[in-house]
Amino acid sequence: MSTLTLSGVNKRYDNGAHAVRGVDMSIADGELVVFVGPSGCGKSTLLRMVAGLESITEGEVAIDGRRINEISPADRDVAMVFQNYALYPHMTVFRNMAYGLANRGMAKVEIEAKVRETAKMLRIGEFLERRPAQLSGGQRQRVAMGRAIVRSPKLFLFDEPLSNLDAKLRVQMRIEIKRLQRELGVTAIYVTHDQTEAMTLADRLAVINEGRIEQMGSPMELYSDPRTLFVASFIGSPHINLLPARFDQGQLLVGDTTLTGFADLPEGVPLMLGIRPEHLSLSADGTFEMSIDLVEQLGADSMIYGAVSAFSGEEPIELCFRAGEATRHVPGERLKLDFQTDRAMVFRQDNGERLI
């Protein structure tokens, strides 16, 4: 178990691309931190810099206070689990898991014990004599994890390891990864573009945008109290509702609709009102009138999607609200909605700064 510190870390490529920009973070012993963000935001590059697979242009990476910038990947004592499993196809599961230990010169009896103990923990003990081609995707990913676990590294790195699995298996493997991480007490970084996966796994989330950390904190902190428009729109499923707004003569306006309960906002600046789906509700004299386009039945509740077009000269605005299990609505129906003013957020459109 170990700590990881990144100080002023940058990555520039020869073509001028600036992939990682001034990243500072500390990861505590036994903590699982998830890097999340859209494709191309720099999260995998940052992970590969920790692993030693990408050079560091500026800054420092340290494990347990020891600078590792110039240390080779093999000597950093980190284990990485990849999206494509990276198993040796000609080797059995046992030999895949034992390979790294054998290279270190560990005694055969000790290798046997560690591999079988880890295989039992991962529920793949019955597959030790099979080759990867004889396994399902989920079983192969368990083997890849087992190969990392037997090494007892200081740090575990996961680079979108569940991307190749179907939806049901991804859920099962998420549970498995979190269970193992807690049982082993290991320090880990997990990279994903799937914010649901991120929310499920993380002790803390680092939301990355264009090579920078926009915000870092617990999943619920980022969901309930995002600092920027980017974080608010990226975290949450379904996404937050965003309505263009402006503040004029002491009133917040969405189109020609005046919203009460807002004050001290800048005038003459394009704003964005953010409302989570669960903070909208049906109301006989609601602020917005929506025409239903789609009802998504999820069992315990329903997601209702539709367009609000009551704003003069404006394009219809798409809204989603979360309705209870007993609620029954159909496409084409018109609903009136209100929202919880104290749960609404207001952002500047130009720089994404949160104002309320």
pLDDT, tens only, 321-331: 998 776 788 99
pLDDT tens digits for 116-154?
999 999 999 999 999 999 999 999 999 999 999 999 999
Position 317 scores a pLDDT of 86
Position 164 scores a pLDDT of 85
Q: Which CATH number fits the domain that encloses residue 305?
A: 2.40.50.140
Mean residue pLDDT of the chain comes to 93
Q: Which domain holds residue 279?
A: 245-348
Let me know whether 72 and 161 are in one domain: yes
Q: Picking from 112-116, 139-143, 177-181, 308-312, which range would have the lowest pLDDT averaged per residue?
A: 308-312
Within a domain: residue 353?
Answer: no
Q: Which of these three, 233, 254, 287, is where a domain ends?
A: 233
Q: Are 24 and 6 in contact (CB under 8 A)?
A: yes
Within a domain: residue 272?
Answer: yes
Rounded Cα gap, residues 196 and 55, in angstroms: 30
Global pTM exceeds 0.85? yes
Position 257 scores a pLDDT of 87
Rounded Cα gap, residues 131 and 189, in angstroms: 28
Q: What is the domain count for the chain?
A: 2
Listing from the earlier edge strand, what are the strands of the sheet with 251-254? 257-259, 251-254, 241-248, 271-275, 345-348
| Tokens, residue 121 | 């923990």
Q: Does the pLDDT at position 312 exceed 60? A: no
Position 300 scores a pLDDT of 83
Interior/surface letters 71-109, b for 16+ CB within 10 angstroms, e for the rest: eeeeebebbbbebebebeeeebbbebbbebbeeeebeee
